[in-house]
Chain A
Amino acid sequence: MSNPIATDEPDGFRVGLARGELMVMSCSPCEAVLDYSARYCTVCGSPEIRWRKASGKAELRCVVEMSVSYTLELPAPFLIASVKLEEGPHLLAPYIGFWESAYGGQPVAAQFENGGFHFRSVAA
């Protein structure tokens, strides 16, 4: 188990990404995993939220192609997936693959490559 991220670290998600780990929020007292917008535990009401490492396994919900470039840093086209993490939370993240062959329900996994983070389809 890696070093825990301080419970009061609001940006624990990015701290995790920087060390190659996908994090989810969970309640310290009751250990429920929460969606990323939660600021209190939706099960027991506790404000003590901590970040914990996710498996990286997920189910693809759908994929959107960003077809128009709005910034120089991110030239279109590129893909963004909505995934349902094994632990429960939905997440939007870069997706490597083809828009045409992405389908809902497909198993995907978080990957850290060349300093970047994305999801990619994996064998069921």
Chain B
Amino acid sequence: MTGHPIAAITGLGFSALSRKPGSSVRRLACDAVRDAAADGGLPLSSIDGLLLNRSPIEPFETLPLSVRRDLGLGDLRLLASIEGEGSSVVQMIQYAALAIQAGMAERVACVFADAPITANVNAGKTFAIALPITGIEDWESEIGFLGAAPAFALVAARYMALYGATPEDFGNWAIAERQWAMLNPRAFLKKPLSMDDYLASRPIARPLRMLDCAYPVNGAVAFIVGKVEVAAAARPPVYIHGMGQGHSGCPAFSDHEPEFDNGAAMAGRIAYAMAGVGPVDVSSAQFYAPFSCAGIVALENYGFCKRGEGAGFVSAGNIAPGGTLPVNTGGGMLSGFYLQGATSICEAVIQTRGEGGQRQVTNDVVLATGLGGRQEHHGALILSPHASLT
């Protein structure tokens, strides 16, 4: 199938994105699906499949299958809630593409919605849930290892221990994302960021500083996945050429490094092979990087540099505007906005369409990734405006 697309993303829609409490997750999801359908230029009633993704830390009821009724959709040929932690948005698009390719459905809406900002509770507290790491039941909560931040601080600390990365390397990631954010009208943090500002930001889980962490917002993003033949008529088309997943089986044992050998390289290999491309062909990479260190590790796992060289690659200016590999061109999760898997994929669609405005870069082959848990779930997509990559 190399060189022939699997399916296409034919619609992209947003709810309002906000740092203030407001609409329910369910309502945000509906707003985004309606916007995506309108963007695709077809009536909402033409949607024949719906895939939902709520935050893995929220109960099922926040985004139940009955969202279908809220939207007033008729009989559906596909309806499910997808849960693969932060890799879920990539997974939804992959399952929609497979269903379309197999003839099960023709036009599938995939929506992620979340509202982590609630009255009297800050986002840090919302996300301060222990991630299982050791395998000993509840051990992480017992020792106070709460939230995603320490789980990723472990990645940063181990990276520093093995490869001698400095705080400035992580700072350069944050600064590059801020530079991109300054070019994106939808980004939330657009004040220029200096290394001094970065180094002065308060510790959250050392070595992580506040400015190493994602900036959560309330909102929803929806994607319509449709048939390749229909996309040809759409302006501009976004073809899905490659799809891969990787779920880490690396044990926390002996000389294994589960912080780095985490499944992303597998997701990348499969997606690249399916599309018939390699890292050298990638025009821009849109990574799911909720913390600066995760982006540095992703650069290595997706084949842009060798293990241990990601930090130097970032500090040499490669990922920033004007660099050799534009990365997270919407400002990423640190300065753009954090809506889990939706952040990287919506920017990938915008870039592939050529609708990036001031931040638009070359877009022949766009890599978009998802990452879940403490980096043990990964999904990758290869997108292109071209129907053929050969």
Question: Which residues of A approach B to under 8 Å, CB–CB?
Answer: 10-11, 13, 34-38, 42, 61-68, 70-71, 73-74, 77-78, 80, 82, 84, 88-94, 99, 103-105
Contact = CB atoms under 8 A, between A and B. Distances in A.
Contacts of A68: 124, 149, 204-205
Contacts of A99: 206
A23 to B, nearest CB: 10
Contacts of A73: 144
B252 A36 contact: yes
A36 B157 contact: no
Interface stretch (B22-30, B129-137, B280-288, B334-342): B129-137
A112 to B, nearest CB: 15
Nearest to B258: A90
A93 B154 CA distance: 12
Nearest to B251: A35
Contact of B205 (A34, A64, A103): A64
Given A64-B205, A99-B206, A92 B134 contact: yes
Residue among A38, A67, A82 with the highest chain B CB neighbour number at 10 A: A67
Interface size classification for chain B? 35 or more
A66 B161 contact: no
Interface in B127-166: 128, 133-137, 139-140, 143-147, 149-150, 153-154, 157-158, 160-162
Nearest to A73: B144
Interface of B: 124-125, 128, 133-137, 139-140, 143-147, 149-150, 153-154, 157-158, 160-162, 202-207, 251-255, 258
B203 A67 contact: yes
A67 B160 contact: no
Contact of A92 (B124, B128, B139, B147): B139
A38 B135 contact: yes
Given A42-B251, A71-B144, A88-B253, A105 B161 contact: yes
A38 B254 CA distance: 14
A99 B130 CA distance: 21
Contacts of A94: 143
Nearest to A76: B144
A99 B208 CA distance: 12
B220 to A, nearest CB: 27
Q: Which 7 pairs across A and B sit closest by C-beta, in order of nearness? A: A37-B135, A104-B161, A62-B157, A65-B206, A90-B252, A74-B144, A36-B135
A50 to B, nearest CB: 16
Contacts of A84: 254-255
Nearest to A89: B253
Contacts of A10: 137
B301 to A, nearest CB: 19
26 contacts: A13-B139, A34-B253, A36-B135, A36-B136, A36-B252, A37-B251, A62-B161, A64-B145, A64-B207, A65-B203, A66-B146, A66-B150, A67-B202, A68-B204, A68-B205, A70-B125, A70-B144, A70-B146, A73-B144, A78-B144, A80-B144, A82-B154, A82-B157, A90-B253, A92-B139, A92-B145
